[in-house]
Structure 1
């Protein structure tokens, strides 16, 4: 029987692109006021170039969107002439602005109701994310029991480590867990490789074939999908 359901967060429970755009704009507004040399030399589109540069210099941080973001800021501030001391302070403050805005998500329709329904049915709920959204800051701590992030685990899905740590944390076997996510590779293939059942969240109606146990196009369908899998598992 299924005892635990884990969820990806970004693009599974909310759309992430508008969240990141808002967070980037908030960060750049702060930098314009407090570190004008940065925004005089860099625009939002230059974050891609800065990301490439810091990953060339430090490929070992590629699993962590938080470390990448902090490294982008540090590298860019130094490049435009800020001292090491000022760079450290400005990078930390700018990241605080970014990460605070990054938690301001708008849930997909039916997201909280679906989680609440599953919680009431007695399922243990978890979050497994490659991003740096935090269940406590986005307003899900009352519904989701635990969270693993690539920042902390040291590997991004579909690497098995996050799924393995989840199984160790819960004391469950793969057959007792369903993983829910939008990414065919990171979520569906990653979980299935360990024998975890999967539900693909296809909000945008993509026509690709994804070998999940169930597919939903609206989060209102997810409780029924869990029930069907649980019946088959039983």
Structure 2
């Protein structure tokens, strides 16, 4: 039977772009008061674009981690702005904390929280597998999720099989005991399916499937997920 349900977070349980936009605004407001030279030289687009590209090209081994890339981009930006190296360490730490805290202020999609809470109450083990750096404990999911693993911690990002296999090993699960749920046809559906997990595609925009092996099930509203989980569980029992 199905024992565990894992979720992607960004754009599956909430829209991430508005969250990042507000977090960047909060960051630059802090910088205007605490690091004006950075603001004089750089824009938000520089952090997301030129500075990010610069650090990823110089350190491709950190490309999987949005946290490490953001930290490196901030460091590069402060140095370019003329801050001394001994001051940059503290500025990077403080500015990232401002961004990171704001990044946790999410607005759940309709039915998201009650749906996850309901699955937990049904007795499923519930967790998160994400490429981003949202914390289940800071966004308000700690009471209904048992664990999480993100790309920074795993050392790889979805759809790499290692991130899924690390969860299986850590939770002592077989892939056929797990349903992974997410919005990305490649990172979530393909990645999880390739290690043998069942999959549910969250398609809130009603888009056409882009091609390739389809998910086990798909939903256009998060309220449909419990029924999809029950259906997969029934299929799983039939295979035993």
TM-score calculated relative to the size of structure 1: 0.98
Map of 2:94 onto structure 1: 93
Instruction: Count the aligned residue pairs.
Output: 234
Q: Distance in 1 between matches of 2:31 and 2:121?
A: 45
* CA apart distance, 1:162: 1.0
Map of 2:8 onto structure 1: 8
Unaligned runs of 5+ in 1: none
Q: Distance in 2 between matches of 1:203 and 1:78?
A: 42
Give 3-state SS (helix, strand or coil) of 2:179's partner.
strand
Q: Distance in 1 between matches of 2:173 and 2:54?
A: 41
* CA apart distance, 1:208: 2.5
Map of 1:33 onto structure 2: 33
* CA apart distance, 1:209: 4.3
* CA apart distance, 1:73: 0.5
Map of 2:217 onto structure 1: 214
Give 3-state SS (helix, strand or coil) of 1:148's partner.
strand
Map of 2:226 onto structure 1: 223
Give 3-state SS (helix, strand or coil) of 2:225's partner.
helix
Report the aligned-residue RMSD.
0.8
Deviations 1:50-87 (Å, cap 9, x if unpaired)? 00001111111101100000001100100111001111
Question: Which contiguous aligned blocks of 4+ residues in structure 1 show a shift greater than 3 angstroms?
Answer: none
Q: Distance in 2 between matches of 1:177 and 1:31?
A: 44
Deviations 1:87-117 (Å, cap 9, x if unpaired)? 1111110000000000000000001111111
Map of 1:149 onto structure 2: 150
